[in-house]
Structures are given as C-alpha cells and as structure tokens.
Chain A
C-alpha cells in the first residue's frame, strides 16, 4: 500500500520499490520501501562520501516554505560503477529525485533515481538509467 508523504508522489504504476540495493552500513528499516516520493527542486549539495553519499535538494512546498530534502545514496565507488561521477550533480541545477521516504515523515529518503534537466536519469539500478533525452543506455554485463 502506498503511503502519502508529500504532494509529489509516484503513481503505483511507477513504483520503484524493488530497485534499491542493500545497504552494507546500516539497516534500511527507517525507510518506507512501500512508499515512493518525488521531489522537484534545485541541488544544494552532493556529499560524495563514505559510508554513504547524500544529495540535498531544495524545494518549495505547498505552503510556499523552502524545504531541504536529503536523499541517501551509496558511497563513491558504487556510484562510479553506476556512472554517477562527483561532477554529475552540481549545486544550482534543477533535478527531479525519487526515493523511499523516512517512515517518520522527516524530509529524507533513500535515493532511487535522479532525473536531470537534459532528461538523463542517474541511478544505481541499471534498469532505471537513461541517457540524454531519456534515451536507453547500454548496460554492461560486467560489474
């Protein structure tokens, strides 16, 4: 069952629930893997760090209040293997980010995918990855 978290949700047909890899460093039980959240906003910061990277996106909510959403991702080597370089996300650029939100309602989520302004999609899930203009990308069979 989908849980309402924010005004911007993915429909059931766009569920990304099964797409997040297991985290080695901590339990993911705090996240609601049955809920998907979508945040459209501006990149504030991309912490390309271990044990996890964090992408912070500034968005304006329905009440007109500015909110910083944090999206937790895997560390640098896992991101690089997915083609997500540190230079991939720059402060100030517009993005739409999907993830599984925290169960307690605070503005953070487990990152699933980032859609950039050029239509490309960044994700550690190869099935979600897209090139410029949303074109499919070739996925290597070698990890």
Chain B
C-alpha cells in the first residue's frame, strides 16, 4: 500500500514536472485553460509507458500499404448517419447541431470542402478515400489522398510550438511517442470545423489524444479522445478503424480539388452545380489556359 502511494505520488509529481517542462507551455495560461486535460491525459500515458519506447529503425512497426477508413464517415462509427451524436455537447453547440440537422432536412447544406478547403483535423480522421503512413523513428506522416492532406506527428521528443508562435493549423500541432507498437499522439492548435456533414461542430480549442496501433495485418485502429471546452461538456471517446486496400495498381496520387470543381453555394445556403455549357463552368480540359479573360476596355 505504501509502495503504491509512493509510486502514485512520484507519478503525479512527474506528470506536473514533465508538463511544465514542455516548451512553450509553462507560462501559457491559455494553453493550460484550453488543453490542460488532454495534456495531462497524454503525459499520464507517457508516464505509464515509462517515458515511451526509444524507437529505432529496426523496431518500427510495419504500417506500409494503402489504407482506407472503415465504417463510414461518422466520427463515432457506432452511430448511423444523420442520427443524434454520442458527443455530449454544450448548449451552444447542441443548438448549432440541431439547426444543422434541421437545415439539412430542408436541403440547405454547405460544406467548406466544396470551396476546396482542407478537411482539417480532427475531421480529417473521418474522410474516406486512400491513406498511407510514412513511419520513421523521429516522425510519422499520416497522409490522406483527399487534397493530399498530411499530418506530421513528431516523435523526436520535441514539445508543442511555444504559445507566442502558435496559431490554428489545418492539421494541428501533433507530438507523440511510441509505447511499443502503439503511437500515442497529442494534437492541439487546430482550426474550428465539423466532424463531417451532418455531425457536430468543434471549436479551435479542440485537442485530441490518440492511441494508434495495428490490430491485425489488415486493420489499424485509432483510439481517440477529444477535448474541447467550448463544444463538449466531457471528453468524447471513439474508436476509428482503417483497413487495408489491395486493388491492383492502386496508388495515391496528387489530389487537386480545383481540377474539376463546379460546386457553388447558393444565396440561401444550399449546394448547387454549374453544369457544362453554363456560364461560369470551369472545364477541366482547359484549366492550363486559365479562365476566360473578361472583356478588355477599348483603349483610346
């Protein structure tokens, strides 16, 4: 019992010491305000892993191949499309979510992706299409085909960006460590967004702890805990799965959203198309030439 208490006390002190030693965090009251819970979660996992596995090339897990998200696009895959969420939302975000669903029923739905903006994190986790991992001892890249969005997860021991240099990023600021074959990640400094269409919004104070591991030859699982003091009244825990794709000759190529995007937002907030032959249509066969030039005033 005494030994257990002593161990717990050492762990608690260590968590506090480690937390205050992460670059840019110690003096950042805002950081503590927005991210303290997820940071503590992350550091407790690191503490439990004995500070993390010293990763070398020969110990890296084999995550090669092409992967895609399983189980649809719901952040909580256990919930069917367009059903209420399992997230416990704050009143403001609950109201926003309910309005979104009501608008959707009226056909009023718009997605920032249709402006060719990135999905951004954590929505990034829910996107379909192809994915790939580039795993190195000091850094992991997790790539999605859509818009060629790349998450860079630093495992070289660095901390997050100092607060006076930090600003919201599409894929956030991700640091991590290895616990054996499990990659543990902490992500902060994200842009506000939505988990996907028909799903709740999150604020730019969202932070996420992930435990990513290969559970069998064809499955990689991501155990995800989301913290967001503005949108959630308690952390949201979900598990997302990604499965291997084996189509012959399939590769991940540059994915340009502008290549063939003729989607527009109408004045009432709906999504509509400019069709081939209509004014404003961007013909994918003529992109290199650029848009039609406006009429030039006749110089005198």
SS class, residues of chain A in contact with chain B: loop
Select the stretch in B22-30, B54-62, B174-182, B272-280 that faces chain A.
B272-280
The interface-forming segment of A2-10, A50-58, A125-133 is: A50-58
> Given A26, A27, A76, A142, which contacts B246 in the complex, CB threshold below 8 Å?
A142
Q: Identify B128's interface contact among A24, A26, A72, CB under 8 A.
A: A24
Q: Which residues of B contact A68 (CB under 8 A)?
A: 276-277
Contacts of A70 in B (CB 8 A): 275-276
Chain A residues whose CB sits within 8 angstroms of the CB of B129 once the complex forms: 24, 75, 77-78
Q: Does A29 contact B (CB under 8 A)?
A: yes
The answer, yes or no, to whether B207 is at the interface (CB within 8 Å) is no
Of B72, B257, B263, B277, chain A has the most CB atoms within 10 Å of the CB of B263
Residue ID in chain B nearest A49 by CB atoms: B260
Contact A24-B127, Cβ < 8 Å, known A107-B275, A142-B246: yes
Chain B interface, DSSP helix/strand/loop, else mixed: loop
Residues of B participating in the A interface, judged by any CB pair closer than 8 Å: 68, 70, 72-73, 81, 104, 107-111, 113-114, 116, 127-130, 145-146, 197, 218, 243-247, 249-250, 252-253, 255-257, 259-261, 263, 270-273, 275-277, 284-285
- 9 CB contacts below 8 A, A to B, read A22-B72, A26-B113, A28-B271, A29-B108, A47-B260, A54-B260, A77-B129, A142-B244, A142-B246
Whether A22 pairs with B81 at a CB distance below 8 angstroms is yes
Whether A77 and B250, one on each chain, are in contact in the complex, defined by CB atoms closer than 8 angstroms, is yes
Q: Are A29 and B72 in contact (CB under 8 A)?
A: no
The residue that B273 contacts in the complex, of A24, A30, A47, with Cβ under 8 A, is A30
Using a CB–CB cutoff of 8 Å, the interface residues on chain A facing chain B are 21-22, 24-30, 47, 49-54, 56, 68, 70, 72, 75-78, 80-81, 102-104, 106-108, 140, 142-143
Given the complex, which residues of A lie within 8 Å of B270, measured CB to CB?
27, 29-30
- The complex places the Cα of A27 from the Cα of B110 at a distance, in Å, of 6
- Note all chain A residues with C-beta closer than 8 A to B72: 22
9 other A-B residue contacts (CB within 8 Å) besides A25-B114, A49-B260, A143-B243 = A22-B73, A22-B128, A25-B111, A26-B111, A27-B109, A56-B276, A76-B253, A102-B273, A143-B244
